[in-house]
Amino acid sequence: MELKSKIFFIFLSILFFFNGFAREECTTAVVSGKATVDNAPILWKNRDTDHLFNKVVFVDEKPYCYTAIVNNDEISGRIVWSGLNEKGFAIMNSAAYNLPLKQGEMKDLEGIIMADALRKCASVDDFENFVRENLGESFGAQANFGVIDAYGNAALFEVHNHGYRRIDARDLPENYIVNTNFSRSGNEDEGFGYVRFMQVEKMFKAKKKLSHSYLLISVIRNIDNPLIPVLPIEKWRLLSNKRPYFVYTYDCIDRSFTASAFVVHGVKKGENPIYSTMWVALGEPLTTIAVPLWVCTKSVPYELRGGDKAPIAVEAMRLKKLLRPFKKGKMGEYLDLTKLDNKQHTGWLGILREKQGEILTKTALFLKTKPDCEKLKEFQEKIAKEVYEILKNINKREKK
């Protein structure tokens, strides 16, 4: 690591220490092209964190520039929580609480690690070299890192300060890897997120082949629990909006502290990496819609980055306050299903799913035209504005 980067790394580490640590518990997957409908890899993360307002930034770095999800108060783009770079290399993480961590060593620096990886790595193999070269007590890692690239690779790295394990998705029978907050190489039965893991596995096994559309429409918003039956989604429309119907979602994929969802639809080996698409849903997934982004535009629509808090994230939070009206203790984990669907047709879930499907279809058709970077920029800005207006209208409707 060059001297300038090392100094900046130390500065950010000190900043982390004095500002304390936020809860980070995420639900993720790394999907090989062997498991997808179009043979392109997919990377997914539902980010669970105390930093409920996220935004998206473009970082003009060398050798590689990148687009990433950050906390709303992080303007440097050197602490990121998932992202995609110009070479088609994408990365995300989930905390792994059953990996070793020695007392007194650096920890919780995964955001810095991912920003540095996006800047330096063009491939999954590059990331492995990056991890190997930086292992040590100051690395600050206790996490699962999911990565894909434009060469057809998709892998999970279970990393701690003094070692790592690489698992390639194509080497597993399913050709994908689901992960929550434990590592396969860590201490058995320790860590967290086993119920969420079971639910994602159930949803993935229900499909012969996976797609980014399935993730964005259904998986990121799911509130089923494999251990405790929840009212089936097709029966939500029978509920009355005159009487709340609460469900507890702490162990669900969509949770009260899910701040954003990130899905990268990669390219097949040999295709142009500029068409690797980073889909971002700011806010709790049940209150928002994902927007497609491309790094080569060297920009992010205002609705995803502007102001103290990104406009789309603000609108999603307004809906969230209707969906989860309780504030005391852990009561925020109770969600009112009647806000999502009911027999009076005032729920908004149908609107979100329909619009998400429409955007996915329009995007797929648009990409078939092989647009240049300027046209990609115009398209992502148009979609971001549409999403913002839809969320605003839902909010107004619910206030009446």
Q: Residues 342-351: pLDDT tens digits? A: 999 999 999 9
| Domains in the chain: boundaries | 3-399
Report, as an integer, the average pLDDT of 123-129: 98
Q: Identify the residue with better confidence: 272 or 5.
A: 272
CATH superfamily of 3-399: Penicillin V Acylase; Chain A (3.60.60.10)
Of residues 304, 305, 301, the one with CA closest to residue 379: 301
Residue 294 sits at the vertex; the CA angle it makes with 290 and 299, to the nearest 5 degrees, is 100
Q: Which two tokens stand for residue 334?
A: 């109770």
Q: What is the mean pLDDT of residues 16-24?
A: 50
The string over 363-379, giving b where at least 16 C-beta atoms fall within 10 Å of a residue's C-beta and e elsewhere, is beeebeeebeeeebbeb
Closest alpha carbon to 46 in 203, 209, 272: 203
What was the pLDDT predicted at 329?
A: 87
Predicted pLDDT of residue 88: 98
> Considering the chain, what percentage of its residues have pLDDT values greater than 70?
93
Cα distances (angstroms) measured from residue 27 to each of 30, 178, 304, 390: 11, 8, 22, 27
Computed over every residue of the chain, the mean pLDDT equals: 93
Per-residue pLDDT band for 75 (boundaries 50, 70, 90) equals: confident
Distances 76 to 53, 79, 391 between C-alpha atoms, Å = 16, 7, 28
User: Per-residue pLDDT averaged across 56-73, rounded?
Assistant: 97
Q: pTM, whole model, 2 decimals?
A: 0.94
Q: Is the pLDDT of residue 89 over 50?
A: yes
pLDDT for residue 101 is more than 70 = yes
DSSP state of 136: S
Q: Residue 272: count other Cβ atoms within 10 Å of its Cβ.
A: 11
- Residue 372 identity: D
The predicted structure's pLDDT at residue 353: 98
Report whether pLDDT(71) > 50.
Answer: yes
Region 296-318: what's the mean pLDDT? Answer: 97
Q: CA separation (Å) from 180 to 95, 156, 206, 249? A: 8, 12, 19, 16
Q: What mean pLDDT is predicted for residues 271-275?
A: 97
70-87: b (≥16 Cβ within 10 Å) or e? bbbebeebbbbbbbbbbb
∠ CA(31), CA(29), CA(54), 5° rounding? 125
Task: Mark out the alpha helices in 62-123 (DSSP H runs).
Answer: 110-120
